[in-house]
């Protein structure tokens, strides 16, 4: 079989396969790839030279208000659907009175905020890491106060010396060593008793 009798399609896959089989130099020599065919050069018109523009084109500038609206919409999370919450009983109302309300400083300069719920009496709203959890206060037999998220996402535990927030599904701590001003005085008093 003669090389000159072979025909190749003008695809890059076929050309690269042929170059690997026969060697690049052999293809250039055998098929005249180094210089264009004069018959083809006459049949194919040369591309027209680019015209120089006397006026430079201005770049198209998109409206920044549309982009900023999209960014603002992406930054604000959609409101979560309202969860049906049972009315608080007497035990829950008593536990709600024991919750330490206000801001607590936590490890790694994080903060949590605990406020009474404005929608559900006997419940509290815990804000942490740009999320707000509606929680049900429950007194445990050990004396710890459990704040259970009504969506079963988070759990906050308040003991005498500190508080922590945990992910209920994985059991991992979201934030720890949260100390309310009242808890810091309890911790200081316990240090004095230990000496």
Is the pLDDT higher at 181 or at 28? 181
CA dihedral 132, 137, 143, 144 (to 10 degrees): -20
| CB distance 116 to 124 below 8 Å | yes
| Termini Cα distance of the chain | 102
Structural domains of the chain in order of their starting residue, each with its CATH number: 9-40 (no CATH), 90-194 (2.40.128.50)
Mean pLDDT to the nearest integer, 11-17: 47
Q: Phi-psi region for residue 31, left (φ > 0), alpha (ψ -120 to 50) or beta?
A: alpha
Closest to 96 in 3D by CA, of 142, 139, 132, 149 = 139
Q: How far apart are CA 96 and CA 69, in angstroms?
A: 41
pLDDT at residue 6 is higher than 50: no
Helix (H, G, I), strand (E, B) or coil at 39: helix
Mean pLDDT to the nearest integer, 10-32: 48
How far is the CA of 23 from the CAs of 16, 18, 27, 131, in angstroms? 10, 8, 7, 65
pLDDT at residue 133 is higher than 60: yes
For tokens 């459990």, name the residue. Answer: 146
pLDDT of residue 13: 44
User: In this prediction, what percent of the chain has a pLDDT beyond 70?
Assistant: 53
> pLDDT tens across 50-102, in order?
555 555 566 555 555 655 566 655 555 555 667 788 989 999 999 999 999 99
Q: In degrees, to the nearest 5, what angle opens at C-alpha 106 toward C-alphas 163 and 146?
A: 20
pLDDT at residue 126 is higher than 90: yes
> pLDDT tens across 152-195, in order?
999 999 999 999 999 999 999 999 999 999 988 865 665 555 55
pLDDT at residue 113 is higher than 80: yes
pLDDT of residue 48: 59
pLDDT of residue 146: 96
Instruction: State the chain's mean pLDDT as an integer.
Output: 74
pLDDT of residue 195: 56
Contacts of 126 (CB under 8 A, 6+ apart): 112, 113, 114, 132, 133, 135, 147, 154, 156, 165
């Amino acid at each position: 079989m003669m090389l000159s009798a072979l025909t190749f399609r003008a695809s890059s896959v076929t050309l690269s396969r042929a170059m690997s089989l026969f060697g690049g130099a052999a293809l250039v020599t055998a098929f005249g790839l180094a210089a264009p065919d004069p018959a083809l050069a006459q049949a194919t018109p040369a591309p027209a030279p680019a015209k120089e523009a006397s006026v430079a084109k201005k770049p198209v500038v998109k409206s920044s208000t549309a982009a900023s609206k999209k960014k603002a919409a992406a930054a604000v999370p959609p409101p979560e659907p309202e969860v049906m919450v049972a009315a608080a009983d007497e035990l829950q109302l008593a536990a709600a009175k024991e919750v330490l309300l206000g801001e607590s400083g936590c490890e790694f300069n994080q903060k949590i905020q605990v406020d009474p719920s404005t929608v559900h009496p006997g419940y509290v709203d815990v804000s942490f890491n740009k999320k707000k959890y509606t929680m049900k206060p429950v007194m445990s037999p050990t004396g710890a106060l459990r704040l259970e998220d009504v969506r079963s996402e988070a759990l906050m535990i308040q003991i005498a010396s500190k508080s922590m927030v945990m992910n209920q599904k994985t059991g991992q701590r979201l934030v720890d060593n949260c100390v309310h001003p009242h808890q810091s005085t309890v911790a200081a008093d316990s240090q004095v008793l230990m000496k």
